[in-house]
Amino acid sequence: MSITNLTAQQLHRAARIREQIDKLESDFAALLAVTGDAPVTVRRRGRPAGSVVAPAQPTPRLKRRMSKAGRARIAAAAKARWAKFRAAGKVVAPAPPASKPKRKISAAARAKMAAAAKKRWAATRAAGKKSL
């Protein structure tokens, strides 16, 4: 059942029951605090009392700058890496495997295929067709 469908009388009753629950919880917490059995924790809904809302405008972030010494260390490290690479000599990438040479059709095979095509077309024309 939705809270929007409740009558005024039902809402008042729900509020009284909630107050009774809160009172019983606080009594229970006080009882435990006296006996020392458990820490006192009363759960409340919403923002804690006395909390401050964050400012509407966030503080601007400052741009991070690198010191000259830091930049020099990075440059020196890069130069050392390149020097090591050059000292090792040029690394040649392995050549890709040689591809198979392109196959060519022999003159005899071409002549055989041409003769077969002429034979097919002759049969097609004899049947009175204009296309295969």
Q: What is the pLDDT of residue 107?
A: 95
pLDDT at residue number 129: 87
* pLDDT at residue 6 in the model: 83
Q: What is the mean pLDDT of the chain?
A: 84
Q: Residue 16 is encoded by which pair of tokens? A: 């009284």
Q: Which residue has the higher pLDDT, 118 or 93?
A: 118
Segments of the chain assigned E as strands: none
Assess whether pLDDT exceeds 80 at residue 14.
yes
pLDDT of residue 35: 66
pLDDT for 21 beyond 60:
yes
**Residue 42 — pLDDT band, cuts 50, 70, 90?**
low
DSSP string, 34-68: HHTSS-------SSPTT--PPPSSPPPPPPP---H
> Which pLDDT tens digit goes with each residue over 78-102?
999 999 988 887 666 777 788 888 8
Instruction: Output 38 or 69, whichever has higher pLDDT.
Output: 69
Using the structure block, give the residue that is written with the tokens 């204009």.
Answer: 130
pLDDT digits (tens, 9 = 90+) for 24-37: 998 888 888 766 65
* Contact predicate 40/25, CB 8 Å: no
